[in-house]
Amino acid sequence: MAELDLKQPAAATRVNLAGMTRGELRAVLAETFGLDEKKARMRATQLWRWIYHYGVTDFAGMTDIAKDMRAALAENFEIRRLALVERQVSNDGTRKYLMALSPGVEIECVFIPDVGRAGALCVSSQVGCTLNCTFCHTGTQALVRNLTAAEIVGQVMAVKDDLGEWPSGGDDRRLSNIVFMGMGEPLYNLENVAKAIDVISDGDGISISRRRTTVSTSGVVPQMQALGEATSAMLAISLHATNDPLRDELVPINRKYPIAELLNACRNYPGVGNARRITFEYVMLKGVNDSDAEARELVRLLKGVPAKINLIPWNPWPGAPYECSSWERIEAFADIVNRAGYASPIRTPRGRDIAAACGQLKSDSVKKRASEARREAAGA
């Protein structure tokens, strides 16, 4: 992708407050200004509103803070956004953003209008992914590091800038839901994902509730209970197969945590019930997992689990060894699932023209590194 700097990050000499939790904000204020606990809490509450409700990036705009204090804040801190490297808008309104965490380390996130109440933002939790699901583009990307909580929140803040959605809140907002379905396996970065959800869901700030936040996992069974306890987020499971041999192949983590264990963890997910169902994602791969028999098996398997089923037409990427099931096949599969009582389960592919659809996300971090290395080797 072309590198176009829409926003330059400021020099990183001052401490960045954007993305901090309340506790972190209190601590850094107490330490910098020698405040006692009560004063630090008051100051943090004040700043919280400006940063997460009003979305200001300049201390000068914090009109209820004394002028000399504003100056002192600006001397020590900054409120910095992630660097937006590129933004693409699909003809269906989907927006894909490429953001730089540091030079050459990039992630993508995607805003999808008309999902949920108004629109969902699909955020990344890692650069790349350590798992290798065979149908997923992100899985082919080698460079991996966990995002910090601030970098996860940073995606939301940058997109709110782009949508012009400050101050936060209001019934007409476009960004109403968050899905952790971008790059990476969120349950391998649970601590930061949980911290980010704390910030994003806080009612005095961005205020996107935990019920409108969905975390998707390939099935990291030992972390599922902890996810529910720490976040109260909605859960989505990337199931994609109804028997272990096939799931072992498509979603290799299944070799560690097979389907029966995964479904058991789902039944025990904190807060699960008919009002809080688990979404099962099922990618439609031609001739691989899309037969009528498998549709019936899917229904049988999910008996007793409060479930929603989401059939995802597979999104192609260069060099992938699969094809998407035909539309007739997907509809026949969906019919069987529908007749079992699951409503309209097909997920319309969004933003395919800009490679922003599920599983097409892959930043150029690795490639860039390689080309940089070559340039350096060539003495350029």
Q: Of residues 109, 133, 266, 358, which has the active-site annotation?
A: 358
Residue 185 near ligand SF4 by CB under 6 A? yes
107 to each of 29, 135, 338, how far by Cα in Å? Answer: 30, 19, 36
Burial of 233 (0-12, 13-18, 19+ CB in 10 A): buried
Q: Annotate 214-225 with three-state secondary structure.
A: EEEECCCHHHHH
User: In whole angstroms, how close is the CB of 207 to ligand SF4 at the nearest point?
Assistant: 28
Please tell me the distance from the alpha carbon of residue 124 to that of residue 144, in angstroms, as a whole number: 12
CB-nearer residue toward ligand SF4: 165 or 185? 185
Binding-site size, ligand SAH (CB under 6 A)? 18
Alpha carbon of residue 150 to chain centroid: 13
The reply to whether omega before 245 is within 30° of 0 (cis) is no
Please tell me the distance from the alpha carbon of residue 234 to that of residue 216, in angstroms, as a whole number: 9
Residue 181 near ligand SAH by CB under 6 A? yes
Annotation says 324 is catalytic: no
3-state helix, strand, coil in the chain (%, to 5): 40, 20, 40
CB-nearer residue toward ligand SAH: 185 or 202? 185
281's contact among ligand SF4, ligand SAH, none, with CB below 5 to 8 A by partner kind, is ligand SAH
Task: Look at phi and psi of residue 324 and say left if phi exceeds 0, alpha if psi is from -120 to 50, else beta.
Answer: beta
Residue 188: CB atoms within 10 Å: 18
Angle at 102 between CA 99 and CA 105, to 5 degrees: 65
127's contact among ligand SAH, ligand SF4, none, with CB below 5 to 8 A by partner kind, is none
Annotation says 108 is catalytic: yes
Residue 218 near ligand SAH by CB under 6 A? yes
Q: Considering only residues 220 through 249, tell me which ones interact with ligand SF4, judged by CB under 6 A.
A: 238
Q: Considering only residues 195 through 224, tell me which ones interact with ligand SF4, judged by CB under 6 A.
A: 218
User: In whole angstroms, how close is the CB of 236 to ligand SAH at the nearest point?
Assistant: 7
What would the two tokens of residue 161 be? 């800038």
Q: Of residues 78, 108, 185, 281, which has the active-site annotation?
A: 108
x-marked contacts with ligand SF4 along 131-170 as a string, rule CB under 6 A: xxx--x-xx-------------------------------
User: In whole angstroms, how close is the CB of 216 to ligand SAH at the nearest point?
Assistant: 4
Q: Is 96 helix (H, G, I), strand (E, B) or coil?
A: strand
151's contact among ligand SAH, ligand SF4, none, with CB below 5 to 8 A by partner kind, is none
User: In whole angstroms, how close is the CB of 281 to ligand SF4 at the nearest point?
Assistant: 9
| Interface segment toward ligand SF4; rule CB under 6 A; list 9-17, 45-53, 124-132, 337-345 | 124-132
101, 160, 359, 365: residue in contact with ligand SAH (rule CB under 6 A):
359
At residue 70, φ and ψ (nearest 5 deg) are -60, -40
Q: Considering only residues 292 through 351, tell me which ones interact with ligand SAH, judged by CB under 6 A.
A: 312, 314-315
Assess contact for 146 and 196: CB atoms under 8 A.
no
CB neighbours of 146 closer than 8 A, spacing ≥ 6? 125, 126, 184, 188, 189, 192
238, 279, 289, 365: residue in contact with ligand SAH (rule CB under 6 A):
238
Q: Which amino acid is at 242?
A: T
Q: Considering only residues 348 through 377, tell me which ones interact with ligand SF4, judged by CB under 6 A.
A: none
334's contact among ligand SF4, ligand SAH, none, with CB below 5 to 8 A by partner kind, is none
What would the two tokens of residue 282 be? 């099922």
193's contact among ligand SF4, ligand SAH, none, with CB below 5 to 8 A by partner kind, is none
Residue 129 near ligand SF4 by CB under 6 A? yes
Please tell me the distance from the alpha carbon of residue 107 to that of residue 366, in angstroms, as a whole number: 11
Positions in the binding site for ligand SF4 (CB under 6 A): 129, 131-133, 136, 138-139, 184-185, 218, 238
Catalytic residues: 108, 358
Positions in the binding site for ligand SAH (CB under 6 A): 133, 135-137, 181, 185, 216-218, 238, 281, 283, 312, 314-315, 358-360
